[in-house]
Amino acid sequence: MNTTRSVLISGASSGIGKATALHLARRGFFVIAGVRREQDGQELESASQGRLCAISLDITDPASIDRAWNKVEGLTGKSGLLGLFNNAGIAVAGPVEHVSADEWRRQFEVNVIGHVALTQAMLPLIRRYVAAHGHGSGRIIFTGSISGRVTLPILGPYAASKHAIAAIAAALRQEVRAQGIWVSLLEPGAIQSDIWKKADDFIATVGPNDPARVLYTRHIEAMIQQTHEGARSAIPAEHVARLVEECLTRSKPKIRTTVGRDAALAATLRWVLGERLFYWMIARAIKIP
């Protein structure tokens, strides 16, 4: 395989990560797909017809990141790593009051700390690519979310992690630009993904006598409805995959991009209306106090 355009993707087992891995492989990139389960990696390699290499990667485990670095370095050699797509993620949901400290930590370990650790590890390989291929050729891309701009009730932990990623991407962008590396943030709205089923799984764990259900029934019911509506209107993950390719190939990629009409509309209304009026409208729309 030609490794001169190599991209590492975390969270490539499903959803955006899987769609992006297969799309980039079809487009001639050498894709290194980070997966948690060996079976997922085998399925990706089979679907890509040999244009992709799957590796075991748990971004919350420093030893796993070290092993991944050795594997990526061995695969890319003197050419280095063109780009890193920080995509792995989970969604922890629940009222702020009732999400345990351990669950808050789990949310941030995966969605924030893990991405920082992986980026720190891979930056030398990206700088190696820049040295070999020219200033401005290195790329780092983060999967953010419209939740990094707009926060809904019950989704506080997830939204907080995406706000953090937006801040990290902004800081990193300014820090590595002089090194010839571009940093981009993608902010999808509703994307076809298993995240909708996981949201239903959370709701199922909140029994009728649970304190969270007693105090926040209307908020939880509203988010159940929003989750189901989002699942029905969600756009295919390939929309994000095409934007990742743009971030990798444009001479000056966009630094922050919403994905989907719902995300673009929410971002625009939040900016135009201001915080107080915007969240008043949200409360009226989803019928919460």
Q: At which residue do the structure tokens 């090194």 appear?
A: 179
55, 33 contact by CB (below 8 A) = yes
| Four-CA torsion 5, 36, 157, 215, nearest 10 degrees | 150
Supply the residues annotated as catalytic: 158
Q: Residue 245: name the closest of 93, 89, 141, 120 by CA.
A: 141
Q: Residue 11: name the closest of 127, 165, 114, 123 by CA.
A: 114
Bridging pattern class, strands 83-86 and 52-56: unpaired
| C-alpha–C-alpha distance, residues 47 and 245, integer Å | 19
Q: Burial code of 172-209, b = ≥16 C-beta within 10 A, e = fewer?
A: bbeebeeebbbbbbbbbbbbbbebbeebeebbeebeee
